[in-house]
Amino acid sequence: MSTTEVAKPVLPVLQDYAAIVGEPEILELRELARRLAGRRVKMVNSTAVGGGVAEILNRLVPLMEEVNVSTRWEVITGGEKFFHVTKAFHNALHGAPYEGAQDWFDAFLATNEDNRRRMQFDEDFIIIHDPQPVALIAERNSGPRRWVWRCHIDLSNPNPQVWDFLRPWVDRYDASLFSSPQFTRGLRIPQYLFYPTIDPLADKNRELEPQFVRGVLEQFHVDPARPILTQISRFDRLKDPVGVIRAYRLVKKYEDCQLVLAGGSATDDPEGAAVLQEVEQAAAGDPDIHILNLPPWSHVEINALQRGSTIVIQKSLKEGFGLTVSEALWKKKPVVASAVGGIPSQVIHKLTGMLVHSVEGTAYQIRFLLANPVFAKTLGENGHQHVKEHFLLTQNLRRYLVLFLVLLQGD
């Protein structure tokens, strides 16, 4: 087993973002970074592709490098059992029952220990993302290094068996980062608010020609002339794809619409195939339901599907932040989304989108928006501005730079 260093693709440079966020924001980012010149950062997570964390790091790390804050991103490795255990942890931390045995905890710690032994930790700031690598903190000694735990998931109602196991590890960090105040657990260490962000210049979010959007819809046999309801998310029960199909069927009684369920599977999610099968069974026999199991590099296609949609849905049962909501809002799409996790930070009910609490409520609001396109357009415009102010990549870079300065000052 060895750790994997993630390859660096060719990406936009910081100055490219000035056209979107304004030149002043870029100048100030450079000023902040100058105070950190020569400092080094390590980011550690559990997957290089698929899922929101990998996407954020793929874009954030090169920008940190560009402003001379040297940043190394490493991915821990583990066997099938480790990822089975961490998936069970993930679900349990979202409140699901946990049925693991003691040897699951042992397997978790053994994999963390294997990774710890093989990795070097000589940077100034070590950022550990999510529970999978949390026990790497065992490496911490009394040196000047600052260790930060970045929690991307909703810990508002964790299964106590798993949380009680993880918490002593979390308590050893210098600080923790959460996507919403509601996700915090009253930790003794400082808890900071870190909204996740999207990259407006990434293939998934950049502007596309209308002809290209139409071409992608046609490629997937989606009719651009009829209303298109879309949920983009990996095939995960917590995203409730079967609930989305039920909501669509309630709408379909009155509106001749189509449903697109597009997603893929992350390498750290062994349940994806089973969930996809459940979704295909639920959709059987309806040619207007398009289930698209896309490979992880389908960013432009996902962008086009969002842009081509009439309404974007995010009917999650639990959610860390739900970056697909910000992606849709950035594209000025009316969004109907569950009031869970970080979604209410993005969707302010009736102002930047519609919040819902059930399958029936989802159908009700979709019908309302289909019947009121002017209001739907206003929601989309407001949503775009809301994302611009809070949820773009440049703000994430700024938060990290400020975090490092605050840690150096000794909060």
Partner 1 sequence: MAVSLEAKRADQPFQFMAASYLIRIGAQPVQTLGDLAKSLRTCPQASIFYHTFQSLEAHHYTSFSSDFAQWALTACNEAALAEQLAIVDLREIVSLEDLRRILVDIVSDYLKEHPQAADRRAFEAFYFCEAKEVTVPSGSPAWTLPELSEGIRHLGHQSLHYHFINSRLRLQLQTNDFSYWIERNLNHPWLAARLNRIDFYNDTLDELRQDILRVLEPAESQ
Which residues of this chain interact with partner 1, rule CB under 8 A? 22-25, 27-28, 31-32, 34-35, 178, 181-182, 184, 186-188, 190-193, 348, 351-352, 382, 385-386, 389-390, 398-399, 401-403, 405-406, 409, 411
**Shortest distance (Å) from residue 117 CB to partner 1:** 33
For residue 387, give both structure tokens: 């994302």
Beta carbons within 8 Å of 109's beta carbon, 6+ residues apart: 135
Instruction: Compute CA distances 103 → 93, 106, 107, 108, 331, whole Å.
Output: 18, 5, 6, 8, 46
Count other C-beta atoms under 10 Å from residue 35's C-beta.
12
Closer residue to partner 1 (CB): 109 or 187:
187
Closer residue to partner 1 (CB): 1 or 27:
27
The one-character DSSP state at 342 is: T
Q: What does the alpha-carbon distance between residue 278 and residue 282 come to, in Å, rounded to a whole number?
A: 6
**Shortest distance (Å) from residue 200 CB to partner 1:** 16
Q: What does the alpha-carbon distance between residue 177 and residue 173 come to, in Å, rounded to a whole number?
A: 11
- The position carrying tokens 């069970």 is 88
Closer residue to partner 1 (CB): 264 or 344:
344
**Shortest distance (Å) from residue 354 CB to partner 1:** 14
Closer residue to partner 1 (CB): 141 or 409:
409
**Shortest distance (Å) from residue 32 CB to partner 1:** 6
Closer residue to partner 1 (CB): 151 or 311:
151
Closer residue to partner 1 (CB): 177 or 336:
177
Bridge partners (DSSP) listed for residue 70: 40
For residue 261, give both structure tokens: 């369920």
Q: What does the alpha-carbon distance between residue 104 and residue 82 come to, in Å, rounded to a whole number?
A: 8
**Shortest distance (Å) from residue 319 CB to partner 1:** 15
Closer residue to partner 1 (CB): 20 or 32:
32
**Shortest distance (Å) from residue 178 CB to partner 1:** 7
The one-character DSSP state at 138 is: G
Cβ burial 379-407 (10 Å sphere, 16+ → b, else e): bbebbbebbbeebbbbbbbbbbbebbeeb
Instruction: Supply φ then ψ for residue 100, to 5 degrees.
Output: -75, 155
